[in-house]
């Protein structure tokens, strides 16, 4: 959900006025978690206990401790984001459906493992983009207030990504138990565009606040760290844990606000700040049968220690989990995957701080009664004993509402293809 957009539209509607200073801040970014690797996508990201090869750098770096030989992975994928919105505060609104799509590299990584007589060690390097900052929201509505006919139009679009340049290692402290650590230099960029218009009896009543076009660019740089633990007492059973530490990501923002009703008058700004995440992690287990693998995850995001007591979304744990199944369709040649994942709705996985001050505390609460649901499927085809081709498709759905004024149905489709080699 786009908290900046909701804030702009509803603040004008409910309060009737917004300052130009507020209009200079887009607020907390919308983050779409697309993960890393085609296998993980096909299992709906239930991969903590399965993490192997180069994808372990993100999901559980302890998986590198059990790697034997060389592994390389490369992938490319597309994301299509669609939203259907209904604005209904005070009067009438219509459903508006908007979507956009684009193609992004999935990941390119290499890892190497060495298995000794009693201990194993592995390391890896890679480029990954597990988080996209894509969102689109478009709504309109009309109502009557104090005898005046009010019409609203609002369009918002965000596009961007965070790129992880990662190095990590894992080692066995016992024959069945491994630990690992991955560190990432985070870079990235995003653009945000907002078009807002409010007409009273067919005209712009307030040239400063009833019509504006906002555009902003951000560049990101920072660090990400994650710790992994993996227990494999047998060849069939695995138990894994991943802990992701709060990211430290700074950004620079520049933007421009145009006021069409004031003969092209505009404001420009340049600001610095940082985005902050929370402690998060997952506990996973998997069991490999002769012709089938079952993998399950339980994920959690810790509360924000700076949250106010009345902020239900930041002051409580966010939970999730799911299960994935892999089956051998043709022994040694073709494998199929399906997965499902549930996640509590989290409108603010990142919080924006400008010069140390958090933005967005006065936003109307964005809530979902049903949470987020992800369904996935995938295939692996072994070209040779050392090379395989992978494909995966996933769908994430959720419904969210802001007060009793705006509801949003979001539908994200992810298609990913890749190649992996082992020798």
Quickly list DSSP for 325-375.
EEEEEETTTEEEEEEEEEE---S-SSEEEETTEES-TTSPPEE-SS-EEEE
Would you state the pLDDT for residue 196? 93
More confident residue, 191 or 52: 191
pLDDT interval class at 357 (50, 70, 90): low
270-296 exposure pattern, b = at least 16 Cβ within 10 A, e = fewer: eeebbbbbbebbbbbbbebeeeebbbb
Mean pLDDT of 90-101: 78
Per-residue CA distances from 293 to 89, 138, 158, 322 (Å):
49, 42, 38, 14
SS3 3: helix
Indicate if the pLDDT at residue 13 is higher than 70.
no
The three-state (H, E, C) secondary structure of 225-260, written as one string? EEEEEEECCCCCEEEEEEEECCCEEEEEEEEEEEEH
What number of other Cβ atoms are within 10 A of residue 344's Cβ? 16
Would you state the pLDDT for residue 69? 92
Would you state the pLDDT for residue 7? 38
Indicate if the pLDDT at residue 419 is higher than 90.
yes
Would you state the pLDDT for residue 5? 38
Would you state the pLDDT for residue 420? 93
In this structure, are strands 148-174 and 177-200 parallel, antiparallel, or unpaired? antiparallel
pLDDT interval class at 106 (50, 70, 90): confident
What number of other Cβ atoms are within 10 A of residue 224's Cβ? 23
Would you state the pLDDT for residue 311? 58
Mean pLDDT of 311-327: 85
Indicate if the pLDDT at residue 75 is higher than 60.
yes
Stated pTM of the model:
0.88
Q: How far apart are CA 165 and CA 47, in angstroms?
A: 20
Stretch among 18-32, 112-126, 364-378 having the lowest mean pLDDT: 18-32
Would you state the pLDDT for residue 1? 41
Name the one residue in this structure whose structure tokens are 């012709």. Answer: 291
Run of H or E residues at 292: strand 292-301
Handedness of CA 32, 35, 39, 40 (dihedral sign): negative
Would you state the pLDDT for residue 361? 42
Mean pLDDT of the chain: 86
pLDDT tens-place string over residues 230-284: 999 999 999 999 999 999 899 999 999 999 988 878 889 898 999 889 999 999 9
Mean pLDDT of 30-53: 92
Backbone angles phi, psi at 57, to 5 degrees: -55, -35
Q: What percent of the chain has pLDDT over 70?
A: 87
Domain 3-148+166-181+226-243+278-422 top-level CATH class = mainly beta
Run of H or E residues at 172: strand 148-174
Mean pLDDT of 171-186: 96
Q: How far apart are CA 380 and CA 159, in angstroms?
A: 30
Indicate if the pLDDT at residue 102 is higher than 60.
yes
Query: By CB neighbour count within 10 A (0-12 exposed, 13-18 middle, 19+ buried), where does 87 fall?
Result: buried
Q: Which residues neighbour 408 within 8 Å (Cβ) at sequence distance 6 or greater?
A: 1, 83, 84, 85, 137, 399, 400, 401
Indicate if the pLDDT at residue 3 is higher than 50.
no
Mean pLDDT of 42-64: 94
């Amino acid at each position: 959900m786009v908290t900046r957009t909701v804030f702009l539209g509803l603040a004008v509607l409910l309060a009737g006025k917004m300052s130009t200073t507020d209009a200079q801040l887009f607020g907390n970014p919308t983050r779409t978690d697309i993960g890393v690797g085609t296998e993980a996508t096909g299992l709906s990201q239930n991969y903590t206990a399965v993490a192997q090869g180069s994808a372990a750098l993100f999901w559980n770096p302890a998986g590198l401790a059990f790697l034997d030989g060389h592994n390389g992975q490369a992938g490319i994928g597309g994301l299509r984001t669609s939203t259907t919105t209904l604005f209904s505060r005070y009067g009438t609104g219509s459903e508006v459906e908007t979507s956009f799509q684009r193609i992004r590299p999935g990941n390119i990584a290499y890892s190497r493992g060495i298995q000794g007589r009693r201990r194993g060690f592995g390391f890896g390097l890679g480029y990954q983009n597990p988080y996209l900052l894509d969102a689109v929201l478009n709504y309109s509505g009309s109502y009557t207030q104090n005898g005046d006919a009010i019409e609203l139009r609002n369009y918002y679009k965000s596009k961007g990504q965070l790129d992880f340049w990662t190095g990590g290692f894992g080692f066995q402290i016992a024959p069945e138990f491994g630990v690992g650590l991955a560190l990432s230099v985070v870079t990235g960029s995003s653009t945000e565009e907002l078009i807002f218009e409010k007409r009273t009896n067919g005209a712009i009543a307030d040239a400063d606040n009833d019509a504006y076009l906002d555009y902003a660019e951000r560049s990101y740089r920072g660090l990400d760290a994650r710790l992994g633990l993996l227990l494999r007492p047998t060849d069939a059973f695995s138990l894994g844990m991943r802990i992701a530490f709060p990211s430290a990501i700074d950004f620079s923002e520049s933007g421009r606000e145009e006021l069409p009703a004031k003969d092209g008058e505009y404001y420009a700004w340049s600001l610095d700040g940082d985005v902050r995440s929370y402690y998060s992690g997952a506990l996973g287990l998997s069991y490999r049968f002769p012709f089938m693998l079952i993998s399950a995850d339980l994920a959690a995001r810790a509360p924000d220690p700076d949250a106010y007591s009345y902020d239900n979304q930041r002051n409580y744990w966010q939970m999730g989990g799911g299960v994935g199944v892999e089956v051998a369709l043709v022994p040694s040649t073709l494998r199929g995957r399906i997965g499902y994942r549930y996640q509590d709705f989290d409108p603010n996985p990142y919080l924006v701080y400008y010069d140390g001050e958090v933005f967005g505390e006065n936003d109307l609460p964005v809530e979902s009664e049903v949470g987020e649901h992800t369904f996935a499927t995938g295939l692996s085809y072994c070209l040779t004993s050392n090379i395989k081709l992978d494909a995966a498709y996933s769908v994430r759905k959720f419904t969210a509402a802001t007060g009793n004024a705006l509801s949003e149905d979001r539908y994200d489709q992810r298609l990913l293809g890749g190649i992996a080699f082992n020798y």
